[in-house]
Amino acid sequence: MSTSGRGLHGRVLETLGPAITAGDYPPGSVLRTDELAQRFDVSRSVMREAVRVLESMHLVESRRRVGVTVLPKAEWNVYDPQVIRWRLAGADRPHQLRSLTVLRSAIEPVAAGLAAKHATAEQCAELTECALGMVANSKGHRLEGYLFHDIAFHRVILNASGNEMFARLGDVVAEVLTGRTRHEVMFEDPDPAAVTLHVRLAEAIRAGDAGHAEELTREIAEGALQELDILAP
């Protein structure tokens, strides 16, 4: 498909996707492709492409003679980064942030413990570099710079765990960290204690101390949940 085609179906998705995840179209709602094409002023082929993307996320199901049916939330691919992004942009944000943060608190300590056992010298160096980048951007309202290094830090840990299932959660963690920043569910500057914990975590992984790495990661997760209690109750 041409760039313009991708742009058109992308425009449709950026309106329809958030509307579905926000509940504007309740489960069981039937969307008519022809009507949607007319509404968005796009061709039916562009509309079908947008529907295929929504189907891949399990947000809708397309059936002949019925139309495009909105599926219940239990069917959604809730790990899809785009679905996460749409949900974080809507009224479901507090619940979504809490759900994702609880997921992180369950997964990341174990991943950090494994990383302490399996991380390569290059990964340890990358972790240290990311932690120092977080420190450098932790004051002066430089949240975008901090976010960049924070995402990279947690990706390295998940990858260094040596578990491909954990590694695939890198995009999920990136979305929740991005969502906290973009939707202002963070303080103007990161909590200094949390920044220090990341530095200490990089050191624990480099030292091969799995137990301490797990403990520090659990503290980071608990701090993130406490922030939600204050900023997104």
Lowest model confidence (mean pLDDT) among 64-78, 114-128, 159-173: 64-78
pLDDT band at residue 2, thresholds of 50, 70 and 90? Answer: very low
Q: How far is CA 23 from the centre of its chain?
A: 20
Q: Which amino acid is at 156?
A: V
pTM, full prediction: 0.86
3-state secondary structure (DSSP) of residue 186 = coil
Is a pLDDT exceeding 70 seen at residue 101?
yes
Question: Does 14 score more than 70 pLDDT?
Answer: yes
| Distances from the Cα of 178 to the Cα of 6, 103, 186, angstroms | 24, 16, 10
pLDDT tens digits, residue range 131-167? 999 999 999 889 999 999 999 999 999 999 999 999 9
Angle at the Cα of 179 (from 173 to 185), degrees rounded to 5? Answer: 115
**201 closest CA partner among 170, 162, 157:** 157
Q: What is the pLDDT of residue 45?
A: 87
Say which residue, 184 or 50, is predicted with more confidence: 50
- Give the mean model confidence (pLDDT) for residues 211-233: 88
**Weakest mean pLDDT among 97-106, 108-117, 172-181, 186-195:** 186-195
Is residue 129 within 8 Å of residue 121, measured between CB atoms? no
Q: Where does 161-191 have alpha helices with state H?
A: 164-167, 170-182
Give all strands of the β-sheet with 30-31 in edge-to-edge order: 30-31, 67-70, 60-63
Q: How far apart (Å, rounded) are the C-alpha atoms in residues 135 and 153? A: 12
* pLDDT higher than 70, residue 19: yes
Q: What is the pLDDT of residue 131?
A: 97
Residue 70, H or E segment: strand 67-70
Kindly report the length of the chain: 233
- Summarised one tens digit per residue, pLDDT across range 30-57 is 998 888 888 888 888 888 899 999 999 9
Residue 177 is predicted with a pLDDT of: 92
Query: b/e map of 207-222 (b: 16 or more CB within 10 Å)?
Result: eebbebbbbbbbbbbe
With a cut of 80, say whether residue 7 has pLDDT above it. no
